[in-house]
Amino acid sequence: MSEGVKEENQLYDEINITPMLDLAYVLLVIFIIMTTASVQGVKVDTPQTLNAAPLAKPQMRAITITSDGAIYLDAYPVDMTSLEQRLAEYKSGNPELPVVLKADAAAHYEKVSEVLEICKKLDITEVGLITKKLAE
């Protein structure tokens, strides 16, 4: 009979790691979802104005200019020629293509002017400038 008790004790000598692996997989999935959800664009310090209205339209494209002069189209880095080509493609698909320009307050005005010239050249008339509303 002592042998039967010994066999029962041996069954519990191993640790069941399945619940721990399930938890690890759930945490991994949550981490992946939260990481991709937080990457929505390029962070810039926008200038402040008194009146800042929300801009939201379907199929809107966002152009971001950082303080060091890097240009992003929908959070993807581009140069001026590829920006013009991609905007032209979007414009052919949507003649009333809305564009928002989000430039850092320390960005060179020349870069902002170049982007606006490309929009004018492509006949993109719906251009919004993103700013922060001043605290009253």
Evaluate if pTM is beyond 0.85: no
SS3 annotation, 51-96: CCCCCCCCCCEEEEECCCCCEEECCEEECHHHHHHHHHHHHHHCCC
Query: What is the C-alpha separation between 95 and 123, in angstroms, rounded?
Result: 9
Query: What is the C-alpha separation between 28 and 92, in angstroms, rounded?
Result: 41
Residues 48-133, CATH architecture: 2-Layer Sandwich (3.30)
Are 107 and 67 spatial neighbours (Cβ–Cβ below 8 Å)?
yes
Query: Is residue 118 scored above 70 in pLDDT?
Result: yes
At 34 the three-state DSSP class reads helix
Q: What is the pLDDT of residues 14-67, one digit of tens each?
A: 778 888 889 999 998 888 877 765 555 666 666 666 665 555 556 788 888 888
Structure tokens at 88: 């032209």
* Residue ranges per structural domain of the chain: 2-38, 48-133
Report which of residues 100 and 46 the model is more confident about. 100
Structure tokens at 91: 């414009």
